[in-house]
Structure 1
Amino acid sequence: MKTTYIKLSLATVLLLGIYSCKKGEATASKYELESTADSAAVVVSDSVSSVATMKVKDKQFIKTAEVNMEVKDVYEATISIEKSIQQLGGFVTKSNLQSNVVSEDTYNTSSDDAMLVKKFQTENTMQVRVPTDKLGELLTLINDKKLFLNSRIINAEDVTAGIKYAELEGKRIKKSSENISQLKANKDKVKLDDDNMSENNQQQLANMDVADNLKYSTVDIYIKEPKLRIAEIAVTNTQNIDNKYKFNFIYDAKHAFVEGFYLIQRIAVGLITIWPILLIATAIIYLLRKRKYFKKPNQI
């Protein structure tokens, strides 16, 4: 009997040991799966900041981002980013693409042709709105276009308390409207009702603004090319054209002759205009000569 008890005890211990081993293997397998999932999550969060995809229970965030980077071709990057935003259900609110010319020189290649060489750097300042749940995906797509990332800023503003306060303000405004409606009709009641409606409108506008910012995230993007680019533009040799028509002897000689004739006419007209002065001057000269003529015998 004792021997049988010992055998049963040993069998029980053995079974428990086997069960514990299997349970340990199952627990280890579960841990490995969880670790793999956590590793995958880390990979995702490495490519895009966790701020962009952050979700916290009972919390609401307004998310914004700023990206400053250098790309190979600003125009191609702009088109690609705009298409990506459209595919994600967002839209572009600003796109200011411009080329800053550093130098501009013209080189004559023949008597008729020349080459205009411009050195410039292209940049674009964009502002886009994208659904908040797509912000991380957009930042990943933008990141794929970079040659060098100068800076990336992602903000998540907790507006949970503000939303709760807005709800309380809405209740207060509603209660004020009910109290005002019970007052007697007079000028003060009209003013109070008008002020209360104005406050209600402002509150509704603020609520709509917050709701829009919660739904769509704003992303400011600045992209530029790292080095100067060169544009070669075929133009006309303007210097040769200027030299060609700079001087025409026959035309200039004819023009000078005509101008000389007009000058003689202007002089003649000028003399006719001052005829009284000329007449007086002639008379004075005549009198002076006559007086001098009569004084000469007396001096002898």
Structure 2
Amino acid sequence: MKTTFLFGVAALFAILVISCKQGESPQEEAALSEKTSADESMKNVLSSNAAVQNPDDKRKFIQKADIKFKVKNVAQSTYKIENAVNKFGGIVTNTDLQSHLTGKKQTKISADSTLQTIKYSVENNIILRIPNTKLDTVIKSIAKEIDYLDFRVIKADDVSLQLLAADLSQQRLSDHTKRLQNDIDQKGKKLNDIADAENDVLNKKQQSENAKIQNLAMRDQIAYSTITLAIYQNETIKQELVAIEKDNQAYGNFGLEILDGLKTGWSILASIIAFVVQLWSIILLALLGIFIYRKFLKSVKPV
């Protein structure tokens, strides 16, 4: 009879364990599926036609993206973003990783130690230059790090006519400078006339060089898109024990011993309570077994 009772208790315990495992498995699968779906959704949110450059399009665009989002860990996400940028041929032109102290508290827990609690936030402002054909790819890669999206702004300005105007202006100034130089060489007679003409040529050359620089700067903005990122994480709390000089006059040796004894006793009691709570299932089964034994099995007389 005792063997039957023990077998029944063991079977009941096994059923409870199997049920718990089966109950957790669908939740884990659902959480994994939900995370995958969220990642794909975030990629779609960040993606934009403004970030896609058609290689067959004759027009020229200056593309810019401004994105702000929260991440799990700013430092780790920064490294991953920088690696993705390097992978696709881009460069990081600026990164400003900073921690800002939001709160500080010191709690004296004994005569020779203090618990220091620090609250701080971490953020980073990053500027990236990406080949225009890889802008959408890099943005989708960055989306993997997003925990919460504040905003994303993507602009594509058509500068085809501005680029054409810059080319024509540069060519016009260059031709005019050449003509002035030829006139000086062929027709210049008086020293004063030559000096004035040379000054005019110098001014035209400066204008031509400025136009060339502006033209090159515009072409650089077309070739490399700019991404400005502002990333941050949740407020972090750090606690650390700091040793301090003993202050026996404030507490007294006897009072300090009593205080330490109370704290040690409470710590032991809390550990015992936590251990008992973790064994609730075994205690429940034991109580159930005692109840079944007293209710049914004890009253059965052996034949």
Pair 1:85 & 2:90 matched:
no
Equivalent position of 2:296 in the other structure: none
Give the superposition deviation at 1:47: 5.9
Pair 1:230 & 2:229 matched:
no
Distance 1:115 1:95 in 2: 34
SS in 2 for 1:206: helix
Q: Sort the Cα spacing of 1:127 and 1:46 in 2 relative to 1 into closer, same or farther, 3 A.
A: closer
Residue correspondence of structure 1 range 167-186 to structure 2 within 5 A: 167-181=167-181, 182-183=183-184, 184=188, 186=194
The runs of 5 or more residues in structure 2 that have no matched partner are: 1-42, 251-303
Amino acid at match of 2:80: S
Distance 2:249 2:158 in 1: 68
Pair 1:101 & 2:101 matched:
yes
Distance 1:98 1:242 in 2: 42
SS in 1 for 2:103: strand
Equivalent position of 1:209 in the other structure: 217
Equivalent position of 1:135 in the other structure: 135
Distance 2:145 2:201 in 1: 56
Matched residue pairs, number? Answer: 200
Give the superposition deviation at 1:203: 1.1
Q: TM-score, normalised by structure 1?
A: 0.62
Between stretches 108-117 and 66-75, larger displacement belongs to: 108-117
**CA RMSD, Structure 1 to Structure 2 (Å):** 2.4
The 8 Å contact of residues 97 and 124 in structure 2, kept in 1 or not, is answered as: yes
Give the superposition deviation at 1:48: 1.3
Equivalent position of 1:54 in the other structure: 53
Amino acid at match of 1:72: K
Pair 1:196 & 2:204 matched:
yes
Q: TM-score, normalised by structure 2?
A: 0.61
The 8 Å contact of residues 46 and 152 in structure 2, kept in 1 or not, is answered as: no
Equivalent position of 1:70 in the other structure: 70
Distance 1:80 1:116 in 2: 32
The 8 Å contact of residues 110 and 237 in structure 1, kept in 2 or not, is answered as: no
SS in 2 for 1:144: helix
Equivalent position of 2:121 in the other structure: 121
The 8 Å contact of residues 108 and 237 in structure 1, kept in 2 or not, is answered as: no
Distance 2:70 2:79 in 1: 15
Between stretches 135-144 and 183-192, larger displacement belongs to: 183-192
Equivalent position of 1:147 in the other structure: 147
Equivalent position of 2:292 in the other structure: none
Distance 2:45 2:77 in 1: 23
Distance 1:237 1:86 in 2: 48
SS in 1 for 2:129: strand
SS in 2 for 1:203: helix
The runs of 5 or more residues in structure 1 that have no matched partner are: 1-43, 244-300
Equivalent position of 1:111 in the other structure: 111
SS in 1 for 2:225: strand
Residue correspondence of structure 1 range 199-278 to structure 2 within 5 A: 199-225=207-233, 227-237=234-244, 240=247
Distance 1:223 1:180 in 2: 55
Instruction: Give CA-to-partner distance per residue, 1:138-169, whole Å, 9 cap, x none.
Output: 11011111111111011111110011111111
SS in 1 for 2:145: coil
Distance 2:147 2:164 in 1: 44
The 8 Å contact of residues 109 and 115 in structure 2, kept in 1 or not, is answered as: yes
Q: Sort the Cα spacing of 1:59 and 1:242 in 2 relative to 1 into closer, same or farther, 3 A.
A: farther
Instruction: Give CA-to-partner distance per residue, 1:199-234, whole Å, 9 cap, x none.
Output: 111111112111211111111000111x32101133
SS in 2 for 1:109: strand
Residue correspondence of structure 1 range 27-42 to structure 2 within 5 A: none
